[in-house]
Amino acid sequence: MNRPSRSARERLAQAVYEMRTRQRLSQEAVADRADLSRNFVGMVERGEVSPSFDNLAKLADGLGVRLSELMRLYESRKDGTDFE
């Protein structure tokens, strides 16, 4: 049985949350490093907003990863596989 595909916003939320928690960073630390508000980071992680490309790049910087790495994790969430 196929699982229903999760929305892009949900997959991005999970990717950002996973990247942040794996590095043991707080939302505030990511926000400070990314020059974004902590509230915005939280909204992204809850899937409440779809960030602009500029803000995606800032989030990746705040997480200390390349944007392509964040997008690879995002893509891996399409089918529910784990990121390595």
Kindly report the CA angle at 67 between 11 and 53, in degrees rounded to 5? 75
pLDDT at 77: 76
pLDDT over threshold 70, residue 83: no
Give the global pTM.
Answer: 0.83
Rounded to 5 degrees, φ, ψ at 77 are -80, -10
Any idea where the domains of the chain sit in the sequence? 8-76
Q: Under CATH, what is the fold of the domain 8-76? A: 434 Repressor (Amino-terminal Domain) (1.10.260)
Better pLDDT: 6 or 50 = 50
Confidence of residue 2 (pLDDT cuts 50, 70, 90): very low
